[in-house]
Structure 1
């Protein structure tokens, strides 16, 4: 590629920190580094026109786990580990709100509702409700989970909902726009359409090769979450999430965030539309991909649940569908570590990027002088 003296001098010389990925983690990492090192030259490399993973493609749930998700986590994690996970998610959400402001991200705390598709499932959750409320009480100083009637008249579900009294929602687009604005105001340079192909670590520099240029940086911080395997040998699997949204629906009284089947399905009202995503559990293997797209099995099931459970007797049309790539693993804990002398990573957010992304970005930046 033919670059001018000015381009090389301004964008590709004397770089202190290079971050791969301009999502929630990458931008928060850059902002924290700028706060710690005000004179540092920081660039972010982003392979898409917009953040390419899940940061601009998620459902905008300010959540930290439904009751059945937490019960499920206790089967593979200790009580202390589950407590730590929820605490980190909650702290991360508060950091997000404090950093960007509730108005700027359209934060609303309208509670979360878990729908149970059988009496047995509901009773299994009820049997653990008090135990989990007690476990989480030191974090929230109140009961997180309670029960309410089926006031939104969903069909084919139990007559009562399990309520998460602390769950909220945000406007994902506004959140990311605000983060990008803050980065630009702080003179953090973001280079879009730049795919990092490889990197080589030398004595005190890292040589980074992209599909368009090669340059040297002092430190390299990788924040690519579901795409981490392309650059790192870490235990992160990609997990595609498919989402649909309807055209506006008149008199749509559904309010709050909603979970079905241990959180594998989720929906909400946004701008008088139903945003509905999930179904990865129908075909885990196919959804373990970094390719964006839709599959017939999941799209059919999303439409069926919309028609039979969420919007019975209401005519609706799907206007958009999309997918995002999350990073998951056998353990829910994110990987934030020093990979080598000058290379660091913050990946595997486990589908909780909105909740923990701000905190993981900050933790990643704090590894530099630890």
Structure 2
């Protein structure tokens, strides 16, 4: 790409803040900067036609962790760390609702359910036993029991007899959320440039140089990296990409359930949307293969989703798949995001740990707060 004089003068000159990534974190950071720097030129650079990582690819769960996920977290984090993780996710969801409003999000406080397959007897029994312990741990946040055991009233097949219900979980419309964020950013005079892939960053005392699309160079005053799992090519941190694969069915007459549903420590998840089932997960079947930034689907994981859909979720029904896709999350050795200053003029807010809906808005705010 070669910029004309007009393009450079109009879009790329005198940029005070360049934000790489137009997902939840990037746009939330831009809006937070606008409240403090009313006259600044704020430009968001997005490599895709739409936000490219996970913000427009996720399942739209307003969640903070199922019982088995939290037990898994407790195996590698202290109780206080897990409590802080949940508090951050809950507060982050409230921040997102405050930023955009529940109507714009199509927020539905439907509650969430954890399912256990017949083969998962040990995990099932461990999770049922842990309900009271986790409710006690989370009581300072919710002031009420979070989890309870309920009967399988949905007709799901090949499962343990009880499900675990989370009364505080909900769901949103991912597309509506991102469209509302984009519109709000544009209304606050924040410039979003799509098709602008940043391939290299360098900075000195005079400013930051960004290489766009492998060739064009622009100069900005300060740069914020908000590309989550896609940030590995721009910095060296405790971060790995984690691909998540998803499918969605055609409309299903008389779809008989409403809610968010988790299986196998959160590695599988499904929900209803527009009389369809959106079903994702299976990364644990091929962790090495799914540690990638390539946005493709694989036969192995899609077949596993198909089997669970047809034999467990909707047994005996003729279900047709309409779309399949993937998105890229950012994970690491810890669940907390990385929000830090990398140099005098470069900052990052990355590694959302698969909880971007819950903590993306607060991570963007925290990233903007690094600017003095």
Q: What interval of TM-score do these two structures reach, taking the shorter chain for normalisation?
A: over 0.9
Pairing partner for 1:141 from 134, 140, 143 = 143
Q: Does 1:277 align with 2:280?
A: yes
Residues 89, 358 of structure 2: 8 Å contact kept: yes
Q: Does 1:291 align with 2:294?
A: yes
Deviation, 1:9, is 2.3
Matches of 2:142 and 2:284, distance apart in 1: 30
Q: How does 1:206-221 map to 2 (within 5 A)?
A: 206-211=208-213, 213-221=216-224
Give secondary structure in 2 for the equivalent of 1:137.
Answer: helix
Q: How does 1:174-253 map to 2 (within 5 A)?
A: 174-211=176-213, 213-253=216-256
TM (norm. structure 2) is 0.98
Q: Does 1:27 align with 2:39?
A: no
Residues 26, 361 of structure 1: 8 Å contact kept: yes
How many residue pairs were aligned?
Answer: 369
Unaligned stretches of 5+ residues in structure 1 = none
Deviation, 1:228, is 1.1
Give secondary structure in 2 for the equivalent of 1:154.
Answer: coil
1:124 matched residue in structure 2: 126
Unaligned stretches of 5+ residues in structure 2 = none
1:77 matched residue in structure 2: 77
Matches of 1:294 and 1:7, distance apart in 2: 37
Give secondary structure in 2 for the equivalent of 1:340.
Answer: coil
TM (norm. structure 1) is 0.98
Q: How does 1:264-343 map to 2 (within 5 A)?
A: 264-343=267-346
Aligned-residue CA RMSD in angstroms? Answer: 1.0
Residues 74-120 of structure 1: CA deviation (Å, up to 9, x unaligned): 00000111001000000000000111111111000100000012443
Matches of 2:11 and 2:310, distance apart in 1: 51
Residues 128, 149 of structure 2: 8 Å contact kept: no
Deviation, 1:207, is 1.1
Matches of 1:39 and 1:88, distance apart in 2: 31
Deviation, 1:14, is 1.3
Matches of 1:14 and 1:359, distance apart in 2: 28
Residues 31-52 of structure 1: CA deviation (Å, up to 9, x unaligned): 0000111111000110000000
Residues 242, 278 of structure 1: 8 Å contact kept: yes
Give secondary structure in 2 for the equivalent of 1:95.
Answer: helix
Residues 18, 223 of structure 2: 8 Å contact kept: yes
Residues 187-213 of structure 1: CA deviation (Å, up to 9, x unaligned): 111111111111111213111111253
1:349 matched residue in structure 2: 352
Q: Does 1:10 align with 2:10?
A: yes
